Amino acid sequence: MNWTEAENKLSATFKFKDFMEAFAFMTEVAFHAEKQNHHPNWSNVYNTVTIDLTTHDAGNVVTDKDRKLAGVIDKIVSKYIG
């Protein structure tokens, strides 16, 4: 979707209809992140979720683990904001 790679991280910001939709999205992402044992740095303010992905055990750089999780996140977000 709208991922940018800079400063050794993949970053994206997503806007949802409301807080409940943003939180539902985050919950779904959390289940997938846990399965991959790869957890995002993220924040949520009302309907906006900001995500930064970096692989900590690789020295805080972007790896295929980050790109894989970003792809999963893109699939999830498309259910909410098409």
pLDDT at 73: 97
Residue 59 has a pLDDT of: 85
**Domain 4-81, CATH among 3.40.50.300, 3.90.209.20, 3.90.228.20, 3.30.1360.20:** 3.30.1360.20
Q: Which of residues 59 and 66 earns the better pLDDT score?
A: 66
pLDDT tens sequence across 11-21: 999 999 999 99
pTM of the model: 0.91
45, 60, 79 from 55: Cα distances, Å: 24, 5, 26
pLDDT value of position 2: 86
Domain limits of the chain?
A: 4-81
pLDDT digits (tens, 9 = 90+) for 38-65: 999 999 999 999 999 999 888 888 999 9
